[in-house]
């Protein structure tokens, strides 16, 4: 039975993360902010107007790197303390206040890029030759030369950065603070509802009547806020469009993909191939769910149900550690040491409480250890989610140690490869340890329903919808709730065809995803999983040499483009083949689920 969520003050602190590793006390945090503001002012006095030759460029960048490292812990502390309880006024005010301070700092430091880009390219190239440490930073900076505005304009835009982030903050406030869900009833029995309980429990509830009632009640509440949420989103889109136009990018897609170091063809390939070629496999999966559960008509509200809910063990946090340690052991002792520390040193926030951000994420502040947020429900899906987030942690645990603060973070296109890799390693480990048909079906259905459905279907359909939204914005248009609902419904109907009924409420799923405030992010999940699927196959076949190559990729951080990083791991992203191979692999998994189900049903008949 799902219970109402406790307040943050009522949860077991041992199952929360320990932010004291960032700052012991509030006083320490405030002192660090004050000191940072002084250092930024002093740095500006020392270097503004003086970045004139290779030597001063190098000295200036050393100081800039030091300040960048000091910004990280205070920014992380402000954000993480707010993410666990959106109803905590003190945490929200701290986060908001630091947002304003960060904008001021960014404005004060905007002269660095402006002055560097006003120098002749040969001066920057000389600085690169003298200091390899800053070569990557300067190369990327030079590539932005055509899109750099007048220094005073850059300074003004930086000062407004906190305001420009306003729509995302407003979205979270609407979702996590204002949107209060009432209990719903089925056959005279009352059930509690919230964002966390819907996405963590009711969406996958085996009882069809309860699941559909929860979906209806959840959708009804979303609908009450659709116009405010749409206006918030349109505000965000117009800011992006204006910025793209001001900087002179050919299109909003060019602007949003620039820092990802990929062109639009790689973005579109993910969407077009999956929409066309994965759809038949996923429709077969939907028909299998329908058959096994005896559902008359498969609807959108039924797509997240487990294939075999009777074979879904409840897993404690402590038990999850053994699963994850065993599955990731192939990554080596150093990696497992990191995983063990994550549990022992409270890097992970497991609890469910009112006001906590939905979903899961990993924050990996440079110079400190990673932090993971998850709302633990005790299902196998949680183990895959935690393995996923530990993949992000392992990535930056390695990259942050090997690279400087400018070089640690790779392109967004690559960011989901290390995370989904861990899900693949988890699946491979579980499959290798049993021949029991019911266990195998459970594991494969977990891979399909969690790893591939989530990353290759849910996020990819978000990307297909997002592309339609940006095409409209790029032509000078705007959006409202009706337009967004129609676009989302159209994408869902195109993918699922006649096999799934896209019922009322399905079109509102655009309201649930914060990724839309993070640029062209949703498609990168399938891009990352394409890479990790291929590399995990190599690890299965080749063992240690493939693991060593993958660890080298993690350590490389952002020193190479996504295509170069994938190439290091033996995957050629310049062709469609890795994506086609991955889609074929998903098809094979679904075919195996069908075969295992037939075997299990036949065994029942013969008993």
- What is the tens place of the pLDDT at every residue in 325-374? 999 999 999 999 999 999 999 999 999 998 898 889 999 999 999 999 99
How far apart CA 481 and CA 489 sit, in angstroms, is 12
Confidence at residue 595, expressed as pLDDT on a 0 to 100 scale: 95
Whether the pLDDT of residue 2 is over 70: the answer is: no
CA distances from 268 to 361, 464, 534 (A): 26, 9, 20
Query: Which candidate, 104, 86, 100, 240, places its Cα nearest to that of 170?
Result: 86
Q: What are phi and psi of 299, to 5 degrees?
A: -115, 170
Say what the pTM is: 0.87
Give CA–CA dist 107/156, Å, rounded: 7
Q: Which residues contact 373 (CB under 8 A, 6 or more apart)?
A: 17, 80, 83, 84, 348, 349, 356, 357, 360, 361, 362, 363
55-80 residue pLDDT tens: 999 999 999 999 999 999 999 999 99
Q: Is residue 220 part of a domain?
A: no
The answer to whether 365 touches 79, Cβ cutoff 8 Å, is: no
Let me know if residue 444 belongs to a domain: no
For residue 56, give its domain range.
Answer: 8-164
Is beta strand 184-186 parallel, antiparallel or unpaired with respect to 189-191? antiparallel
* Alpha carbon 557 to chain centroid, angstroms: 17
What is the number of domains present in the chain? 1
Q: Using alpha carbons, select from 426, 424, 416 the residue that is nearest to residue 360.
A: 416
Query: Is 605 within a domain?
Result: no
Q: Provide the edge-to-edge strand list for the sheet that holds 371-373.
A: 348-349, 371-373, 361-363
For residue 35, is it within any domain?
Answer: yes
Q: What is the CATH number of the domain that holds 56?
A: 1.20.140.70
What distance, in Å, lies between the first and last C-alpha atoms of the chain? 33
In a domain, 396, yes or no: no
Using alpha carbons, list the distances in angstroms from residue 551 to 131, 525, 562: 26, 20, 15
Averaged pLDDT score across all residues of the chain: 94
CA angle 241, 522, 482 (to 5 degrees): 60
pLDDT given at position 450: 80
- The confidence score (pLDDT) of residue 292 equals 94
Structural domain contains residue 535: no
In a domain, 317, yes or no: no
Cα–Cα distance list, 148 to 106, 117, 143, 176, 409 (Å): 15, 8, 10, 37, 22
Q: Would you say residue 1 has pLDDT above 70?
A: no
The predicted structure's pLDDT at residue 372: 98
Query: Residue 455: what pLDDT?
Result: 83
Which candidate, 449, 416, 425, places its Cα nearest to that of 523?
Answer: 416
Please, are residues 325 and 337 in contact by the beta-carbon 8 Å criterion? no
pLDDT digits (tens, 9 = 90+) for 455-492: 889 999 999 999 999 999 999 999 999 999 999 999 99
d(CA 148, CA 235): 23
Of the candidates 113, 121, 102, the one whose C-alpha atom is nearest the C-alpha of residue 148 is 113
Give domain status of residue 574, yes or no: no
């Amino acid at each position: 039975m799902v219970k109402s969520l406790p307040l943050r003050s009522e949860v077991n602190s041992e199952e929360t993360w320990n932010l004291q590793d960032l700052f012991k006390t509030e006083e320490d945090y405030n002192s660090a902010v004050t000191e940072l503001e002084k250092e930024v002012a002093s740095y500006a006095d020392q270097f503004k107007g003086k970045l004139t030759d290779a030597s001063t460029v190098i000295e200036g960048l050393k100081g800039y790197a030091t300040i960048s490292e000091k910004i990280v812990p205070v920014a992380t502390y402000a954000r993480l303390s707010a993410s666990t309880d959106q109803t905590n006024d003190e945490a929200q005010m701290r986060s908001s206040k630091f947002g304003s301070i960060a904008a001021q700092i960014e404005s004060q430091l905007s002269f660095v890029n402006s002055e560097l880009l006003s120098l002749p390219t040969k001066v920057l190239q000389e600085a690169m030759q003298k200091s390899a440490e800053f070569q990557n930073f300067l190369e990327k900076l030079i590539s932005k030369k055509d899109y750099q505005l007048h220094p005073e304009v850059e300074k003004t835009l930086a000062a407004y950065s906190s305001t420009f982030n306003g729509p995302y903050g407003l979205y979270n406030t609407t979702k996590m603070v204002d949107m209060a869900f009432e209990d719903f009833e089925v056959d005279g029995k009352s059930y509690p509802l919230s964002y966390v309980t819907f996405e963590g429990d009711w969406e996958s509830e085996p009882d069809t009547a309860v699941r559909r009632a929860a979906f209806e009640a959840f959708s009804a509440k979303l609908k009450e806020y659709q116009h405010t949420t749409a206006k918030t989103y349109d505000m965000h889109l117009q800011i992006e469009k204006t910025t793209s136009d001001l900087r002179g990018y050919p299109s909003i897609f060019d602007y949003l993909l620039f820092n990802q170091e990929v062109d639009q063809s790689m973005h579109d390939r993910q969407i077009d191939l999956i929409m066309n070629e994965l759809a038949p496999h996923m429709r077969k999966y939907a028909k299998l769910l329908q058959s096994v559960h005896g559902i008359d008509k498969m609807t959108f509200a039924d797509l997240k149900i487990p294939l075999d809910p009777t074979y879904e063990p409840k897993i404690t946090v402590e038990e999850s550690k053994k699963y994850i340690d065993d599955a990731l052991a192939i990554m080596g002792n150093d990696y497992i040491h990191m995983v063990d520390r994550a549990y022992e040193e409270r890097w992970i926030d497991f609890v469910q409480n009112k006001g906590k951000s939905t979903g899961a994420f990993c924050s990996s502040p440079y110079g400190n250890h990673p932090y993971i947020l998850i709302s633990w429900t005790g299902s196998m899906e949680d183990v895959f989610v935690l393995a996923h987030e530990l993949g992000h942690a392992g990535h930056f645990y390695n990259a942050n140690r090997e690279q400087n603060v400018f070089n640690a973070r790779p392109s967004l296109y690559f960011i989901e490869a290390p995370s989904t890799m861990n899900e693949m390693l988890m699946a491979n480990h579980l499959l290798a340890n049993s021949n029991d048909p019911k266990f195998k079906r459970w594991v494969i259905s977990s891979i399909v329903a969690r790893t591939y459905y989530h990353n290759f279907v849910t996020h990819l359909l978000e990307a297909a919808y997002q592309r339609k939204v940006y095409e409209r914005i790029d032509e000078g248009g705007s959006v409202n709730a009706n337009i967004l609902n129609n676009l989302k419904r159209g994408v869902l109907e195109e993918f699922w065809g006649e096999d799934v009924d896209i019922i009322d409420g399905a079109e509102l799923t655009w309201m649930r995803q914060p990724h839309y405030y993070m640029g062209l992010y949703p498609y990168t999940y399938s891009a990352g999983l394409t890479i990790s699927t291929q590399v995990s196959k190599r690890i299965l076949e080749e063992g240690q040499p493939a693991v060593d190559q993958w660890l080298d990729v993690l350590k490389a951080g952002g020193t190479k483009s996504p295509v170069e990083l994938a190439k290091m791991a033996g995957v050629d992203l310049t062709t469609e083949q890795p994506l086609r191979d991955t889609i074929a692999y998903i098809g094979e998994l679904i075919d195996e689920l069908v075969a295992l189900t037939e075997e299990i049903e036949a065994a029942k008949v013969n008993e």
